[in-house]
Structure 1
């Protein structure tokens, strides 16, 4: 499956072009984008599963039907996010040391280990990555402040995938 950064880049390219509709298939995943008078809709599908909106990808329904707030942003907000990604060179990335499932807290009822703005030390636990029924605590390994949480609770993460951005 494509990484969120790759999907964002595709959205940016389609948005800047005169293309009204775009479809892409790769490794069993399908991406379909449509532009309608300045509004965009993006859906990612895994073969054999239902449609999954990609957050923070644009998805504005033309009909005005109720939408999931986490998955919806305006064109301007997405453009600002793309700009902010360009300025991440001076930030430290905490990456996943393994393939597994990302958890922001020790249990569903518990508060997240860290949020944006949280100060961390070298040994601060920032999340848990579950791999093969083993829950591995991931430490910050740097002293600083969490600027952005890049993974969502319950999301599958790859080895080396950035999970957090930290301002040292």
Structure 2
């Protein structure tokens, strides 16, 4: 495993909410821990890794008297209530970056209301510079897209809600 690949893994783990990560392949073992001292070991080599936690800083806030109270009403559009137990969740099979299309100029693979079948590609998850096409593995209609384009996703994180046929 190359040092650049290790750095990319460290970057992905640092951006995620994972506290611990273990990877083993062909005699290479990498163990990362956040918020604690951890050891990264590759083959027979070891590297120290630790997260830096800054001390909280005190901020002085001055309150000023309110001379006039205004009431504001915000009207938002209500989403239709859908029984979530009847919906299938398409989840991320890995930690990576979620993309709705194959390139910035291309249209999204699916949108709310799109009809899909089991082998439909619904998105791409990029992990370590590899772009992995994610298939729906279910038939139905996309009801909701739960993540934004370019967002970091975790293993098992729901990406789409699908209403079955």
Give the TM-score taking structure 2 as reference length.
0.53
Question: Where do 4+ consecutive residues of structure 1 move more than 6 Å?
Answer: none
Could you tell me how far apart the structure 2 residues matched to 1:2 and 1:137 are? 21
Provide the rounded CA distance (Å) in 1 between the counterparts of 2:99 and 2:120.
15
Match of 2:163 among 139, 155, 167: 167
1:75 Cα offset (Å): 5.5
Give the aligned partner of residue 84 of structure 1.
Answer: 81
Corresponding residue of 2:95: 99
What is the rounded CA distance, in whole Å, between the counterparts of 2:152 and 2:133 in structure 1?
A: 15
Q: Which residue of 2 aligns with 1:155?
A: 151
Mapped partners of 2:16, 2:135: distance in 1: 26
Secondary structure of the residue aligned to 1:89 is helix
Q: Which has the higher contact order (CA 8 A, sep 6+)?
A: 2
Structure 1 unmatched runs, 5+: 4-26, 29-35, 40-73
Alignment CA distance shift 1:147-1:133 (3 Å): same
How many residues are treated as equivalent by the alignment? 100
Task: Tell me the TM-score normalised to structure 1 length.
Answer: 0.52
CA distance in 2, matches of 1:132, 1:108: 19
Structure 2: 5+ residue stretches without partners: 1-14, 18-52, 55-69
How large is the Cα RMSD of the aligned pairs? 2.9
Q: CA deviation at 1:37?
A: 4.5
Deviations 1:104-154 (A, max 9, x none): 000000000000111101000000000011101000000111111111110
1:117 aligns with 2:90: no
- Partner of 2:141 in structure 1? 145
SS in 1 for 2:81: helix
